[in-house]
Amino acid sequence: MKRVPHITLEDIARQLDVSRVTVSKALRGHPDISQEMTKRVRKVADDLGYSPNIIARSLSARRSNMIGLVVPKIAHFFFGAVIESVYNTAFEHNVETILTVSQENAEREKKHLQTLVSMRVDGIIISISQETHDLDIFRWIRQMGIPLLFLDRRPDPPLPGFSSVLVDDRGGTLRAIDHAVAVGYRKLAYIGGGPHINIGKERFAGFEQALEKHGIPLRKNWVIRGGFGRDDGYNGFMQLHRSGDLPEFIFAVTYPVALGVYEAAKVLGVRIPEDVDIMSFGDSDVTRFITPSLSCVNQPTLELGSKAVELLLSIIANPDSVADQHVIVPTDLILRETCVRERPSRRQEAG
């Protein structure tokens, strides 16, 4: 493969006998340059197969037109959809998205953040890993003057100096439990991750609040605080089952947790929804196709991604806006074959 040196502004300029600056301006449609000249420059650029070197442009302009995106996972319905939305929105604004994946690993997350800073992205959107505890890196980034905002997952308690775009975790859970109670359940369990991250804290808070509202006492052994993955659901249900005292209904903090519950239930011969009913926070394509299809709290991924990009770009454009902004996006309830009134067999027995 012959290594043809790339065409540069210089090459185009020489061919037209003008200066690089003229070419640079013409190519960017700068009003300084005449229609006539602009057209000629564009023509030559095309003919030569010119491709602007955005590395050089970034260095010179001190602005990369790139934003960084850090997510914990990629092969996950929610994050897949959010990433897509971020990409699409950024694309519309002529901004490139640099995606990095932490794999729920705090060390790796930190490394990625350093890389993004090194790449001089104009801003960063992050959904932190389950394990992120050390927050110094965020302070360092703030000190570097790079806008960063949290999307969906952020440290709890929140870090001052950072905006965020969040899901209404508490309200969504509250509505789900309201529904479960309306269906007739009184023995409610919760399986989900810890409180050092907002989604763990808020979703559980919604659960607690709902119980209180309905005058249902919280049973400690029906609250399993693990992580947010399938294993956690599986193990959580096993633990619930071992205790010999199964609840009527389980709220799973994420859909992978719910899938883990399905798996464990199958292994144990416990029927869903007849023996134990279930809902989850978070939709996916699996939940639609599984039997019984899973009712859940749906997070508006499209809106999350676009809001995040737009907020970030506005902060980039105006870095001196004083106050942190916190956008909270509402959820909706998707009812499928679990947790529905219309299958009241056991409910009648239970009274």
Taking the C-alpha atoms of residue 285 and residue 264, their distance in angstroms, rounded to an integer, is 20
Of these, 14, 15, 37, 108, which contacts DNA (CB under 7 A)? 37
User: Among candidates 165, 129, 168, 130, which has minimal Cα distance to 148?
Assistant: 165
Of these, 48, 135, 144, 182, which contacts its own copies (CB under 8 A)? 144
Residue 119 binding DNA, by CB under 7 A: no
Q: Which residues contact 180 (CB under 8 A, 6 or more apart)?
A: 188, 249, 251, 277, 279, 339
Q: How many CB atoms are closer than 10 A to CB 161?
A: 12
CB of 4 to DNA, least distance (A): 11
Q: Which residues contact 244 (CB under 8 A, 6 or more apart)?
A: none
Of these, 77, 222, 234, 237, which contacts its own copies (CB under 8 A)? 77
The SS3 assignment for 302 reads: helix
Residue 323 binding its own copies, by CB under 8 A: no
Q: Which of its own copies, DNA, none has residue 25 at its interface (CB below 5 to 8 Å by kind)?
A: DNA
CB of 261 to DNA, least distance (A): 50
Contacting range for DNA; rule: CB under 7 A; set: 9-17, 88-96, 126-134, 277-285: 9-17
**Measured from the CB atom, is 117 or 328 closer to DNA?**
117
Q: Which of DNA, its own copies, none has residue 4 at its interface (CB below 5 to 8 Å by kind)?
A: its own copies
Q: How many CB atoms are closer than 10 A to CB 169?
A: 25
Of these, 21, 28, 32, 59, which contacts its own copies (CB under 8 A)? 59
Residue 6 binding DNA, by CB under 7 A: yes
Tell me how far apart the terminal alpha carbons of the chain are, to the nearest angstrom: 78
**Measured from the CB atom, is 18 or 316 closer to DNA?**
18
CB of 135 to DNA, least distance (A): 25
CB of 319 to its own copies, least distance (A): 5
**Measured from the CB atom, is 59 or 182 closer to its own copies?**
59
Q: Which residues contact 36 (CB under 8 A, 6 or more apart)?
A: none
Tokens representing 226 are 């693990």
| DSSP secondary structure of 139-168 | HHHHHTT--EEEES--BSSPPTT-EEEEE-
Taking the C-alpha atoms of residue 159 and residue 87, their distance in angstroms, rounded to an integer, is 26
Taking the C-alpha atoms of residue 103 and residue 88, their distance in angstroms, rounded to an integer, is 23
Q: How many CB atoms are closer than 10 A to CB 285?
A: 11
Q: Which of DNA, its own copies, none has residue 345 at its interface (CB below 5 to 8 Å by kind)?
A: none
Contacting range for its own copies; rule: CB under 8 A; set: 28-36, 140-148, 151-159, 219-227: 140-148
Amino acid identity of residue 121, one-letter, is V
Residue 28 binding DNA, by CB under 7 A: yes
221-260: contacts with its own copies (CB under 8 A): 259
Q: Which of its own copies, DNA, none has residue 22 at its interface (CB below 5 to 8 Å by kind)?
A: DNA
Which DSSP state fits 249? E
Chain positions contacting DNA, by CB under 7 A:
5-6, 8-10, 17-22, 24-25, 27-28, 31-34, 36-37, 52-53, 56-57, 59-62
